[in-house]
Structure 1
């Protein structure tokens, strides 16, 4: 045995390289900024009057005020998931299988719907179907009373139209890779039309559908802005947690922590149930014969196109409404006749700092996410082990953490010395990185899987050290995939409200917080102008993703 081998066994740290230190640093940062805050609210939920107690949980399940919020959250999220599937699956099937026109245009509009914040959709529907909405007033002039958008049904409506693209994107991908021979075999046995879709196609893509449904449920369950705007007395858990934590009558951090833990318990349970069901119903396909586009003609093609057009039009109406109303003249809270740029002038006068803050914080967060995505994806993919698999799992935890919960946990953890971050812009950037890093990680790992190891091996064989090889070769090859995920992270960051509303203070307010405030003070013109800025930024970001990916269709 060589002297070098003996020395390595005596001191394993001699074998450490750059990637070992990256792994250790990642675990330390995750433990400090994610696990430690979550552990804090877990302990806080059991703390009452200076001692450990179950009183907070007993109070939650004893008072209707508390447990009805949980029931409302489950009802809204479940109903929104069901209706999103009813819309998303047929749209995905028609777009994937038939030769309808304007597919690329429809695809971009669907993705734009998904990337826009839900509370903007809620605000738009208030303008249309609120107590003084223009559609409400139009029908009222004819003696017809339209149902109000406020309440649980309004939340379900907004969430359905906002989140069905999750189903569409997942199902579209699955339908393009399904082995058509399985459907042909069922057709030869006499199963045709809708029965074939129900008995063969849907079971084959069930794991993918369930993943999309999980995304819809999680997004609906965790959303803060929509219930706050149109709930009108109907509480859901994120709202209740926020109100318990930040209340004019005196905050109750212990109960806010309890509500946060219940929120986290529900999302985690739903995730595990979905994973369990999928493992029981997973089908494998060779995909040697992917389906071909079926050429419809005449009436069938017209009806298929009208169906997709109707769904996409309904879901994009909020964006169109926001942009249009941003150019209308206003007289206080009322829209007057004619067009003007007054709302934009008022925005630049009243909240220029919010616009600057939004893009500055998002940009700082993205720089961190790109750098972290490059390094961590390499560790997870190229240095695969049980430890790096655990690291990957920890990075993905924020997928099941509602933004309100994360915000509360960070404030409880870092609101006193020696590390006092509450009230600073730093805590917002930390929250954004934790919440959105999974997007960059997934795109980074996906592109790295496509890069052959031989490229790195060839560089190393020419005498270039492994670390330099990564930065000069591998990282450069990864950039397109990393940037696509990073831009998606950036878009969702500038649209983030759930965690921001808990963490900001006056000097660190963002566009989303300003929109929320303007709507509540009935300044609809400035709210529309701010929302339009977000929408325009989202559209530009989609175009950039399209250019970087070099694809004909925008993908996520």
Structure 2
């Protein structure tokens, strides 16, 4: 006789089932729809591999993949080249103005990529400030910001802070005894760095490099604004999906599937490497920064100030140009508030949509993040581990791909969401939950289960003890992660540009549209509002978390 174990339908079992249903409907089902559509013929709907054959057989399409690899690997190399020495200098030496420099670096990291591209257009575009200066004063044609070199510059200056933040965190965990032991054995200077320090932080460098790689591979705004003839996968997928002539949703789905497979492969390889090569460091005596001396101090400070200065130039240029006078969308001499008046006259809905959708998404993220974190930490099982992994998976999915998956899944059938605010909010929740989920899990590990057990022993149900005790104690960590989720979602462009309509346009989409129309004044005003929101949100994060570190 077979015995069956009855499932106990308590509060957390019901929550587990609901979370599974939500992820199945809004993540697994859209991804399966994307995969299936990639194998469908556009005209007949029959299953075929023609879409993939077309991609790999035609150089026009396959070259976009090669271009993406060339760009992402180059950007990752230069990001490491910039961020690694910066982290070393800032960690091992007393740098004047360190706090201000770190805030500048973090602000540049959290601002959207496409604003950086737009600001460099204002400076180094065909009619840019720097371009015109060199042309009029020295009669020299300054190198163009468009194409591969421009994207390499913009991405490298935008993404090196990931390397800096990760490596800085790892260096803080190194015990000074290791350095002293190396020196006692005659290992000094550069030799000590490469034989002692670098092996310790290499897994962290790899983790940061993956983030750089993912961000560069997935970004749509920068290549769309300054890529011009240099086609990459996100712009190719976008043009194929929304193209008025020759476009094919099924062919775009096959390219999007290829992007998902690439990012997933790199993520799994990185995870395997880190798991096999990483180790735990206990910093009993953390390294104390020493005062640099001589010419080394001058060169070190010059390097740091130049890199940090170049990082915040985009934000400064955007804010400055937002106050310049414009006539027929062209900047003229003088300053005015005309661009802001235009923005609050014709783009106020984009501003309100950004905040409304953002607040709606962040509330959902907080609720789901707390529940999933509790399931993965307190109620460990293969199922809850699977839920936790599934919740983190969208972090490696390019935004444009996520937008396509949602459109393919909810454009027809029983649930039609395309063209609504709901589909944008869903994309923001799915894409930006990772920060809140990780911070919720981290804070939960620091809370003893005995607190919750005490509440249950006094008569509270498990669900009531969670809301009365655990949830309240989790809130500081949850809020710090939620603020980071908020910053990234209000700056989201890659998925929103695939999903928006005239009624649901957000600030990031409006900025992109204004730049494409060469309406740089209103674009600068909108970008300044978005930048100011990002800075204020970061200051709130620092206050809530009590830290100046932004880590993932």
TM-score range, shorter chain: over 0.9
- In the alignment, the residues of structure 1 paired with residue 439 and residue 276 of structure 2 have an alpha-carbon distance, to the nearest angstrom, of 28
**Retained in 2: the 8 A contact 1:81–1:213?**
yes
Give yes or no for the alignment of 1:278 onto 2:271. no
Partner of 1:6: none
SS in 2 for 1:508: coil
Partner of 2:516: 520
TM-score, L = length of structure 1:
0.96
- In the alignment, the residues of structure 1 paired with residue 298 and residue 279 of structure 2 have an alpha-carbon distance, to the nearest angstrom, of 34
- In the alignment, the residues of structure 1 paired with residue 231 and residue 380 of structure 2 have an alpha-carbon distance, to the nearest angstrom, of 45
Alignment length (residue pairs):
546
- In the alignment, the residues of structure 2 paired with residue 251 and residue 330 of structure 1 have an alpha-carbon distance, to the nearest angstrom, of 37
The Cα offsets for residues 97-138 of structure 1, whole Å up to 9 and x where unpaired, read as 111121111111111111100000000000101111110111
- In the alignment, the residues of structure 1 paired with residue 172 and residue 134 of structure 2 have an alpha-carbon distance, to the nearest angstrom, of 44
CA RMSD of aligned residues (A): 1.3
**Retained in 2: the 8 A contact 1:542–1:554?**
no
Once the two structures are TM-superposed, the CA of residue 41 in structure 1 deviates from its matched residue by 1.0
Give yes or no for the alignment of 1:27 onto 2:23. no
Give yes or no for the alignment of 1:268 onto 2:261. no
Once the two structures are TM-superposed, the CA of residue 479 in structure 1 deviates from its matched residue by 0.8
- In the alignment, the residues of structure 2 paired with residue 195 and residue 57 of structure 1 have an alpha-carbon distance, to the nearest angstrom, of 49
| Change over 3 Å in CA distance of 1:329–1:514 after alignment to 2 | same
Partner of 2:73: 78
Once the two structures are TM-superposed, the CA of residue 182 in structure 1 deviates from its matched residue by 2.2
Partner of 1:5: none
Partner of 1:203: 199
Once the two structures are TM-superposed, the CA of residue 522 in structure 1 deviates from its matched residue by 0.9
More moved, 330-339 vs 427-436? 330-339
Once the two structures are TM-superposed, the CA of residue 54 in structure 1 deviates from its matched residue by 1.2
**Retained in 2: the 8 A contact 1:171–1:208?**
yes
Partner of 1:3: none
Q: Which runs of 5+ in 1 are unaligned?
A: 1-8
Q: Which of 400, 417, 420 is residue 421 of structure 1 equivalent to?
A: 417
Q: Which of 458, 480, 487 is residue 462 of structure 1 equivalent to?
A: 458
- In the alignment, the residues of structure 2 paired with residue 275 and residue 497 of structure 1 have an alpha-carbon distance, to the nearest angstrom, of 27
- In the alignment, the residues of structure 1 paired with residue 130 and residue 25 of structure 2 have an alpha-carbon distance, to the nearest angstrom, of 50
Partner of 1:150: 146
More moved, 429-438 vs 324-333? 324-333
Once the two structures are TM-superposed, the CA of residue 338 in structure 1 deviates from its matched residue by 1.4
Give yes or no for the alignment of 1:357 onto 2:350. no
Once the two structures are TM-superposed, the CA of residue 11 in structure 1 deviates from its matched residue by 5.8
Give yes or no for the alignment of 1:287 onto 2:283. yes
- In the alignment, the residues of structure 2 paired with residue 490 and residue 283 of structure 1 have an alpha-carbon distance, to the nearest angstrom, of 32
TM-score, L = length of structure 2:
0.97
Provide runs of 4+ in structure 1 moved above 4 Å: none
Once the two structures are TM-superposed, the CA of residue 288 in structure 1 deviates from its matched residue by 2.8
Q: Which of 65, 69, 72 is residue 60 of structure 2 equivalent to?
A: 65
Partner of 1:547: 543
Give yes or no for the alignment of 1:385 onto 2:381. yes
Give yes or no for the alignment of 1:88 onto 2:83. yes
- In the alignment, the residues of structure 2 paired with residue 457 and residue 537 of structure 1 have an alpha-carbon distance, to the nearest angstrom, of 41
- In the alignment, the residues of structure 2 paired with residue 539 and residue 73 of structure 1 have an alpha-carbon distance, to the nearest angstrom, of 31
**Retained in 1: the 8 A contact 2:350–2:506?**
yes
- In the alignment, the residues of structure 2 paired with residue 461 and residue 293 of structure 1 have an alpha-carbon distance, to the nearest angstrom, of 49
Give yes or no for the alignment of 1:12 onto 2:39. no
Partner of 1:500: 496
More moved, 242-251 vs 252-261? 242-251
**Retained in 2: the 8 A contact 1:330–1:336?**
yes
**Retained in 2: the 8 A contact 1:443–1:482?**
yes
Give yes or no for the alignment of 1:127 onto 2:122. yes
SS in 2 for 1:47: coil
Q: Which of 36, 49, 53 is residue 43 of structure 1 equivalent to?
A: 36
**Retained in 1: the 8 A contact 2:172–2:283?**
no
Q: Which of 33, 40, 50 is residue 55 of structure 1 equivalent to?
A: 50
More moved, 107-116 vs 455-464? 455-464
Give yes or no for the alignment of 1:328 onto 2:321. no
